[in-house]
Amino acid sequence: MGRKVMLIEDERNIIEAISFILSRDGWEVKTHSNGHDALDAIRERMPDVIILDVMLPGRSGFDILQDIRKDTEISGIPVLMLTARGQKKDREMAERAGADQYMTKPFSNAEILESVRSLVIT
């Protein structure tokens, strides 16, 4: 199938968990762990879906998402924002920035799988 997901996350345990869950489901998972050059990594890999943490070293996920939506080459890639911050204002910021979905940590395996699957049109 060749479904590719880009996981931009800096917590090793989250990276391992999500990579394992999605790989078992047939996804090719590429990871990146900082906000400095996340856009370059996205452009290089051209994933079908992006899972983007809000709090990253270098730049926030919100800033990265705004840049994704401004870039015509990658603006159409669906983005799932993943964060420990679950307040209403954080959700609203993600929506304004152009997030397709928003999920708080901790999450279940089923939740992450369902969300990622729902973002890809087959």
pLDDT tens for 8-42 read 999 999 999 999 999 999 999 999 999 999 999 99
Q: For residue range 40-75, what is the model confidence (pLDDT) as tens digits?
A: 999 999 999 999 999 999 999 999 999 999 999 999
pTM for the model: 0.94
The CA-based angle 41-44-50, given to 5 degrees, is 55
How many angstroms separate the first and last alpha carbons of the chain?
10
The domains of the chain are located at 4-115
Distance between CA atoms of residues 9 and 2, nearest Å: 22
Q: Where are the beta strands (DSSP E) in 40-121?
A: 49-53, 79-83, 101-104
Among 2.60.120.680, 3.30.950.10, 3.30.559.10, 3.40.50.2300, name the CATH number for the domain at 4-115: 3.40.50.2300
Between the CA of residue 102 and those of 78, 87, 90, what are the distances in Å?
11, 11, 9
